[in-house]
Amino acid sequence: MQRLFRKIYYGDYGDKETGGNLHAASSSVSSESNWPLWEVFIRSKQGLDHKHVGSLHAADAQMAIENARDVYTRRQEGISIWVVESKYIHASNPDEAQSLYDPANDKVYRHPTFYELPEELKHM
């Protein structure tokens, strides 16, 4: 069985302790519970879409929603909460943004300002 090592140094806490090697992935089994990580998306009362506000660990979806309410909605009203386990989120690579979105860059005709029309023309 392969073991994955990720080196994490703790060097100089207060300059007195020495660093240690720990093999740990962030999903290592904890002594008591193994709560997955959830991403939280919230739509405010006036909002049109859900925005990503942060993450939390919870045992299941219901607990994730209740905790999301406690932690991320202390100053909002009339909201909708989505929680998704982080492992189900797939993201594009920001470094490839340039090439990924390149096809859109030269199509300026998708913008209304591309079209020149008489100023007197109304309601368009």
Partner 1 sequence: MELEKIFQDKIDNDSKIEPKDWMPDKYRQTLIRQISQHAHSEIVGMLPEGNWISRAPSLRRKATLIAKVQDEAGHGLYLYSAAETLGISRDEMIAQLHSGKAKYSSIFNYPTLTWADMGAIGWLVDGAAIINQIPLTRCSHGPYSRAMIRICKEESFHQRQGFEILLTLSKGSNEQKAMCQDAINRWWWPSMMMFGPNDDVSPHTAQSMKWKIKRFSNDELRQRFVDMCAEQIKFLGMTIPDPDLKWNESKGHHDFGPINWDEFWSVVGGNGPCNKERLEARIKAQEEGAWVREAAAAYAEKRKNRNTLKVA
Question: Tokens standing for 28?
Answer: 């290592």
Residue 54's contacts (CB-CB under 8 Å, 6 or more residues apart) are 39, 40, 71, 72
Q: In this chain, which stretch among 76-84, 89-97, 98-106, 108-116 interacts with partner 1, using CB under 8 A?
A: 89-97
Q: In this chain, which stretch among 28-36, 43-51, 97-105, 110-118 interacts with partner 1, using CB under 8 A?
A: 28-36
Asked if 118 touches partner 1 (CB under 8 A), the answer is no
Asked if 10 touches partner 1 (CB under 8 A), the answer is yes
Q: Find out whether 46 and 76 touch, Cβ atoms under 8 Å.
A: no
Distance CA 55, CA 41 (A): 9
Asked if 43 touches partner 1 (CB under 8 A), the answer is no
Total number of residues binding partner 1 (CB under 8 A)? 38
Q: Find out whether 35 and 58 touch, Cβ atoms under 8 Å.
A: yes
Q: In this chain, which stretch among 41-49, 77-85, 93-101, 115-123 interacts with partner 1, using CB under 8 A?
A: 93-101
